Amino acid sequence: MEKPIEELRRIVMRAQDKWTETGLPRVSMVRAEACADQVYQPMLHLVLQGTKTLSIGEELSRYTAGSYFLVPVDVPATGQIHADEQDQPYLAVSLTLEVDVIASLLMDEGKTPRAPQNTCFQGVHAPPEMIDAWLRMMRIMDRPHEASVLAPMIEREILFRALQGPLGGILRAVARPDGRMTQIRRVTQWIREHYTEPFRVEPLALMSDMSVAAFYRHFKSVTAMTPIQYQKRLRLLRARWLLLFDTLDATSIAYTVGYESASQFNREYARLFGLPPARDAARFRPPAPARELTATP
């Protein structure tokens, strides 16, 4: 008899791209051969096959099949994917966190919110009940009449299982309107919208209603980065995307993403990705066609 996680893998193998919308609200499936550097939005991510390693700020986390992790705020991350066996892609399902749904669950639960006991981005084993709920969610992907009624209920069930697990404190913090997590999320959204602009930390601390010292401490506990490191990571991820998919040269890209010094951009880019911008881009771009030489008399 096919195990629930095996059936989930078979369903997700239908995905055509790295992140594929399912038609179900906030639910995506992931099929990938390589890990794309990206900004992760608040989500619950369940690994079905393969191993993912993510570098988020100063934290390096490894997630294996059957484990899940939470992303409580927008975070820029780099990473790698490792196949369990040759020619087997990385498979996962992802649920974007909706604060109102979590808050509704907390009201029904009636418990006093607890402070998070686990670090953000930690991977934990998914209980059978959560995997079973995910399977029922993915089974109704092609049944719109059923999905309109059942998907919201199954979403609540998945989140309920997470609330009861080791990462429940983090999920509770996401939904607290006056909590530190919400205040930091407000700041990360502002930095994402203004990542090319210089900023001072004092106004960000004021935005989060904290002292500068408290803001630094809470920002780093949530994102594993300082505000300046967070901005730099956003700039560098955007720069890499432009290098691969645009025609701008490295110097132009440096200024486009907010750097005032091309040499500083080159140093920080190489520190994060292992190669200077031009050499890194050359690994992914097809070589230029050879020019035909014509003999002259």
* Confidence bin at 154 (pLDDT 50/70/90): very high
The residue among 13, 23, 183 whose CA lies nearest residue 89 is 13
Looking at 76-85, 168-177, 226-235, which range is the least confident one? 76-85
Which of residues 16 and 221 earns the better pLDDT score?
Answer: 221
pLDDT tens digits for range 226-260? 999 999 999 999 999 999 888 899 999 999 999 99
Give the angle 97-98-100 at the CA atoms, nearest 5°: 145
* Burial tier of 86 (Cβ tally within 10 Å: 0-12, 13-18, 19+): exposed
pLDDT digits (tens, 9 = 90+) for 112-150: 555 455 567 899 999 999 999 999 999 999 999 999 999
Q: Which tokens go with 33?
A: 């051969």
The answer to whether the CB of 147 falls within 8 A of the CB of 140 is yes
In the chain, the amino acid numbered 169 is: G
Identify whether the C-beta of residue 10 lies closer than 8 Å to the C-beta of residue 3. no
| 199 closest CA partner among 235, 227, 166 | 227
